[in-house]
Every structure is written in C-alpha cells, then in structure tokens.
Amino acid sequence: MITKEDVEHIGWLARIDISEQETVEHMEKLNSVLGYFGQLDELPTEDVAPTYHVAEIHNVFRDDVEEECLPQEVVLENTEHKQDGAFRVPKIG
C-alpha cells in the first residue's frame, strides 16, 4: 500500500512539487493500480509459459566499426554553450 509519505518521497526524488491534494490523488491512483496487480496475482498461471516480450523482437546491433570522428569545431558549431573547446553544462550540485 502506497502512503502519502511514499508519494511525497517520490515527488522529492523526482524534484517536483506536489500539493497536498495531488498527493492524496496520486496515492489513491497508485493504490488502485496496485489493486489491479493484486487481482493479477490471483489468476491461475501455473500452466502458462513465461513471456518476456509480447512481440518477437530481437536486438539489432550495428557492427562495431571504428569510424572517423567529427572535427571538434563541427561538433561545437551549433551550440552557444561552449567553453575551452567543450560543451559547457550546468554544475551538478
């Protein structure tokens, strides 16, 4: 069961502000979803083979071939956020 504290913690982790009313609404919705999972747990699945994907999808990888890199000037030409030949990004703190 999801509590209001759980929703507040998730909001804190996601760095989003959630009002008291939204906290209650999200708590009810998440508990509703968990209720559906509880119903699924009650289904008899002993004779059902495990399914990892509903579609026959396989990873497709390109050959790992060394290629020429773009010149640094070309890579940086479309940004105004550059400094000393590199992308300038916000400080992580």
How much is the pLDDT for 33? 95
Q: Which residues, in sequence order, are CB contacts of 11 under 8 Å at separation 6+?
A: 17, 18, 23
Query: pLDDT tens track of the chain, all 93 residues?
Result: 999 999 999 999 999 999 999 999 999 999 999 999 999 999 999 998 888 877 888 888 989 999 999 999 999 999 999 999 999 999 988
Out of 1.20.1250.20, 1.10.20.60, 3.30.70.260, 1.20.58.220, which CATH number does the structure's domain 1-57 have? 1.10.20.60
If you write DSSP's letter for every residue of 25-70 in order, what string do you get?
HHHHHHHHHHHHHHHHHTS--TTSPP-S-SS------------PPP
How much is the pLDDT for 43? 92
How much is the pLDDT for 26? 96
